[in-house]
């Protein structure tokens, strides 16, 4: 810490004094990816991709990993013929704007990726002349990132992380297998665009089975425990959306669910692996991989983003966690298991 | 590492847009001596009002005015809580800030409102000249306001409440006017930022007060604050420098974005400590001179005295 402090102090001071002095750590990696003949691939073109991500968060990180993996499988590998400029705004709006400006000012970028709505929006306003992809955006149309999901037009396309079918299938599963569930409690931060969209969809889907959705609002991670506790005794099951603040505090909901024997349904695979009982979902890694494939197509074949339709997660499956079921007092029947398509990966022991 | 002029230009642009917010913070913290935390909420209020109005096809300039009015109302509420409600200044700002979170959500209707692709004066490529003009106009207007009777009363309120009351000025009114004006500028800054970035977000005001303070303090350390003219200029320059430093920090490979807050803290610490160190150095050298003089004259006296 102390060392870092002095380093930052020196850095800040030297930056104030001499803006524009080269620094060695940067030039080293630049020469690596400058396309000069480095042993093997002498005719290989090298690329630079800039990534802006709003906050550090398991799902968003998995998205980024999937994106990079897809590029690698397409022969575009980091530290070989790809330089990645990764920026994280740490949840800070002003940093997010500064990052977008920095990325748009760097002419070396061949492609830009924005992970989550605020990052994608800030980039879309600044980056007009480079292909811009977005990932982990719930409602690209509502955010005005694209005007048409099938033919986006401009320089922007990507993948939405919401398949509206997912919550419908989950609601069907709950109604069919857990008939005692009449009310579902939702802890939600209504300050997050994706959470609001998904909560509306969940309300509609559950209503078709006469199940009521009860919301407990939070504004940040520290309020999640109290909100969850407030639902105990009022609801027969918990549900959460892809709500960054709530997902970050998912452990406390799992604790409450286990100690009160309340079935806990979530919206992504990662939380089920952690200890929620079930979801109909996909892996964020796969979601990122989808976007990575789009990126490879743009870089290698020169496909225009405007001609690529916005994708949604297509590998939906029921995912069950048997340990969590035991902890939450749920008997997992064979019928439930039969609904899982990929039993090997999606029934978590 | 090569610093691209583009990102520096962008940083100056952002710095100018945030400068109005820094001016607002200067009014409360430096002139009124009132620790106003409403800023984190009222900044978002401005952005929210502007984004909603623009997406409903109102003129962007009208949207800016409405945003400023919204911020002024929020500030007036804080001022009322403090003066008429006799609530501690820090607390009244905090109360208003958390109240505004819900109000802003109501205004926006969703956590994030995009105005992407809608024409407005601040979303173009080269808007530097326009932004400079707007910021300078507000700076000059603020300077002139501080020379009027009410402006002078406002400045005196921050210096010595009891004295100015004895002259017949109503310090409650001046406090409300000051906090209101401050938050009006903050909201206007929020409106500009929303237009420049193409969206308003419920979290856009978080941490704003720290950035505003940092801007004011950095500017003062560089330009000083001898008169209102220089102090307001300092707030603007400080805001720009803060943004440039952030832009440079982003260019450095081994810096994480999470280090930005630390950098901010370090810059503010340097800005605060530097003038004090200068002063103490001056005093020390003065003391040394005095001692030498005394020694000389004392030595002569000693010869004659004994």
For residue B221, which residues of chain A lie inside 8 Å, CB to CB? none
* pLDDT higher than threshold 70 for residue A30: no
What DSSP designation does A309 have?
A: P
For testing contact with chain A, the best of B22, B251, B252, B264 (most A CBs within 10 A):
B251
Tokens found for residue B13: 């642009």
Q: How far is A186 from chain B (nearest CA, A)?
A: 17
Buried b / exposed e over B75-114, threshold 16 CB at 10 Å, is bbbbbbbbbeeebebeebbbbbbebbbebbbebbebbbbb
CA B77 to chain CA mean position, Å: 19
Q: CB–CB of A11 and B252 under 8 A? A: yes
CB A89 within 8 A of CB A99: yes
Nearest to B197 among A117, A122, A195 (CB): A122
CA–CA gap between residue A285 and residue A159 (Å, rounded): 12
Q: CB–CB of A144 and B117 under 8 A? A: yes
Over residues A176-185, the pLDDT tens digits come to 999 999 999 9
Q: CB–CB of B202 and A191 under 8 A? A: yes
Q: CB–CB of A23 and B253 under 8 A? A: yes
DSSP notation for A57-84: -HHHHHHHHHHHHHHHHTT--BTTTEEE
Q: CB–CB of B258 and A20 under 8 A? A: no
Q: Which pLDDT belongs to residue A270? A: 83
Beta-bridge partner residues of A23: none
Q: CB–CB of A105 and B248 under 8 A? A: no
CB A93 within 8 A of CB A121: no
For A84, name the nearest residue in chain B, comparing CA atoms only. B253
Mean of all residue pLDDT scores within chain A? 85
| Cβ-based burial of B287 (10 A; exposed 0-12, middle 13-18, buried ≥19) | exposed
Mean of all residue pLDDT scores within chain B? 89
Tokens found for residue A29: 């990696």
Q: Which pLDDT belongs to residue B2? A: 56
Q: CB–CB of A26 and B252 under 8 A? A: yes
CA–CA gap between residue B181 and residue B185 (Å, rounded): 6
Cβ–Cβ contacts within 10 Å for residue A75, how many?
A: 13
For residue B254, which residues of chain A lie inside 8 Å, CB to CB? 25
Buried b / exposed e over A145-171, threshold 16 CB at 10 Å, is bbeeeeebebbbbbbbbbbeebbbbbb
Lowest-pLDDT range of A211-215, B116-120, B135-139, B209-213: B116-120
CB A295 within 8 A of CB A279: no
For residue A191, which residues of chain B lie inside 8 Å, CB to CB? 101, 105, 111, 202-203
Q: Which pLDDT belongs to residue B269? A: 87
* pLDDT higher than threshold 70 for residue A203: yes
Mean pLDDT of B7-32: 92
Phi, psi of A82 (to 5 degrees): -140, 130
Q: CB–CB of B1 and A94 under 8 A? A: no
Q: Please count the residue pairs, one from chain A and one from chain B, whose beta carbons lie less than 8 angstroms apart.
A: 167
* pLDDT higher than threshold 70 for residue A8: no
For A138, name the nearest residue in chain B, comparing CA atoms only. B112
Q: CB–CB of A102 and B250 under 8 A? A: yes
Q: How far is A64 from chain B (nearest CA, A)?
A: 17
Nearest to B266 among A8, A91, A147 (CB): A8
Q: How far is B303 from chain A (nearest CA, A)?
A: 53
Q: How far is A218 from chain B (nearest CA, A)?
A: 12
| Cβ-based burial of B282 (10 A; exposed 0-12, middle 13-18, buried ≥19) | exposed
* pLDDT higher than threshold 80 for residue A22: no
Over residues A280-308, the pLDDT tens digits come to 988 889 999 999 999 999 999 999 999 99
Q: How far is B240 from chain A (nearest CA, A)?
A: 12
CA–CA gap between residue B288 and residue B282 (Å, rounded): 10
For testing contact with chain A, the best of B54, B114, B131 (most A CBs within 10 A):
B114
Q: CB–CB of B114 and A9 under 8 A? A: no
Q: Which pLDDT belongs to residue A87? A: 92
* pLDDT higher than threshold 50 for residue B48: yes
CA–CA gap between residue A318 and residue A337 (Å, rounded): 9
Over residues B210-224, the pLDDT tens digits come to 899 999 999 998 898
For residue B250, which residues of chain A lie inside 8 Å, CB to CB? 87, 98-99, 102
Q: How far is A102 from chain B (nearest CA, A)?
A: 5
For A85, name the nearest residue in chain B, comparing CA atoms only. B253
Over residues A308-320, the pLDDT tens digits come to 999 998 888 999 9
Place of tokens 């982990």: A136
Q: How far is B266 from chain A (nearest CA, A)?
A: 6
Helices B149-159, B171-197: crossing angle, 10 deg rounding: 100
Mean pLDDT of A81-102: 90
CA A164 to chain CA mean position, Å: 16
What is the percent of chain B where pLDDT is above 70? 94
Q: How far is CA A252 from CA A62, A264, A287, B240, in A?
A: 22, 12, 27, 42
| Cβ-based burial of A46 (10 A; exposed 0-12, middle 13-18, buried ≥19) | middle
What DSSP designation does A51 have?
A: E
Q: Which pLDDT belongs to residue A25? A: 35
Place of tokens 């889907």: A205
Q: Which pLDDT belongs to residue B302? A: 55
CA–CA gap between residue A286 and residue A216 (Å, rounded): 31
Taking the complete model, does pTM exceed 0.85, yes or no? no
Mean pLDDT of B9-14: 87
Among residues A337, A252, A229, A319, the alpha carbon closest in space to that of A279 is found at A319
**A23 pLDDT band (50/70/90 cuts)?**
very low
For testing contact with chain A, the best of B9, B116, B211 (most A CBs within 10 A):
B116
Mean pLDDT of A330-343: 90
Taken in order A12, A18, A24, A26, the sign of the CA dihedral is: positive
Q: CB–CB of A20 and B3 under 8 A? A: yes
**A39 pLDDT band (50/70/90 cuts)?**
very low
CB B242 within 8 A of CB B15: yes
**A6 pLDDT band (50/70/90 cuts)?**
low
């Amino acid at each position: 810490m102390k060392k870092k402090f002095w380093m930052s102090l020196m850095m800040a001071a030297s930056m104030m004094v001499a803006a524009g002095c080269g620094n060695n750590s940067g030039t080293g990696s630049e020469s690596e990816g400058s396309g000069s003949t480095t042993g093997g691939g002498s005719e290989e073109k090298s690329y630079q991709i800039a990534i802006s991500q709003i906050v550090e968060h398991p799902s968003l990180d998995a998205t980024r990993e999937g994106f990079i993996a897809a590029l690698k499988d397409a022969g575009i590998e980091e530290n070989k013929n790809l330089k990645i400029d990764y920026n994280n705004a740490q949840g800070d709006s002003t940093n997010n704007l500064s990052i977008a400006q920095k990325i748009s000012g760097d002419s070396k970028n061949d492609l830009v990726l924005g992970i989550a709505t605020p990052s994608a929006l800030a980039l879309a306003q600044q980056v007009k002349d480079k292909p811009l992809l977005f990932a982990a955006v719930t409602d690209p149309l509502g955010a005005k990132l694209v005007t048409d999901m099938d033919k986006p037009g401009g320089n922007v396309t990507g993948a939405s992380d919401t398949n509206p079918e997912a919550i419908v299938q989950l609601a069907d599963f709950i109604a069919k297998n857990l008939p005692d569930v009449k009310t579902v409690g939702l802890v939600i931060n209504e300050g997050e665009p994706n959470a609001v969209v998904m909560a509306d969809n969940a309300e509609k889907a559950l209503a078709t089975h006469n199940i009521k959705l009860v919301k407990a609002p939070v504004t940040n991670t520290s309020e999640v425990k109290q909100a969850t506790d407030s639902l105990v005794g009022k609801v027969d099951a918990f549900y959460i959306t892809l709500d960054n603040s709530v997902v970050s505090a998912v452990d406390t909901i799992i604790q409450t669910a286990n100690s009160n024997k309340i079935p806990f349904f979530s919206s992504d695979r990662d939380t089920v692996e952690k200890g929620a009982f079930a979801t109909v979902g996909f892996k964020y890694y796969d979601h990122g991989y989808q976007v990575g494939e789009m990126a490879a197509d743009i870089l290698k074949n020169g496909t225009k983003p405007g001609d690529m339709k916005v994708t949604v997660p297509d590998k939906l499956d029921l995912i069950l966690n048997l340990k969590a079921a035991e902890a939450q007092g749920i008997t997992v029947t064979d019928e439930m298991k039969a609904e899982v398509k990929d039993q090997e990966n999606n029934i978590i022991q | 590492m090569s610093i691209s002029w583009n990102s520096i230009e962008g940083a100056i642009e952002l710095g100018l847009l945030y400068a109005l917010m820094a001016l607002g913070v200067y009014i409360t913290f430096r002139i009124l001596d009132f620790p106003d935390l409403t800023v984190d909420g009222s900044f978002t209020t401005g952005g929210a009002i502007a984004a909603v109005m623009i997406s409903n096809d109102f003129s962007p300039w009208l949207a800016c005015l409405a945003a400023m009015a919204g911020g002024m109302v929020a500030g007036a509420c804080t001022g009322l809580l403090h003066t008429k409600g006799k609530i501690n200044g820090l607390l009244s700002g905090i109360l208003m800030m958390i109240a505004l979170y819900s109000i802003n959500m109501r205004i926006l209707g969703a956590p994030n409102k995009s105005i992407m692709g809608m024409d407005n004066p601040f979303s173009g490529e080269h808007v530097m000249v326009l932004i400079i003009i707007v910021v300078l106009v507000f700076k000059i207007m603020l300077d002139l306001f501080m020379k009027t009777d009410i402006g002078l009363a406002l400045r005196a309120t921050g210096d010595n409440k009891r004295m100015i009351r004895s002259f017949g000025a109503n310090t409650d009114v001046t406090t409300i006017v000051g906090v209101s004006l401050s938050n009006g500028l903050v909201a206007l800054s929020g409106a500009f930022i929303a237009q420049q970035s193409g969206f308003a977000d419920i979290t856009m005001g978080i941490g704003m007060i720290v950035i505003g303070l940092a801007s004011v303090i950095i500017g003062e350390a560089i330009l000083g604050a001898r008169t209102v003219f220089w102090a307001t200029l300092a707030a603007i320059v400080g805001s720009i420098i803060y943004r440039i430093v952030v832009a440079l920090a982003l260019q450095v490979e081994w810096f994480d974005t999470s280090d930005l807050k630390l950098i901010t803290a370090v810059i503010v610490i340097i800005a605060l400590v530097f003038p004090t160190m200068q002063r103490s150095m001056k005093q020390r050298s003065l003391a040394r001179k005095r001692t030498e003089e005394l020694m000389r004259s004392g030595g002569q006296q000693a010869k004659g005295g004994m």
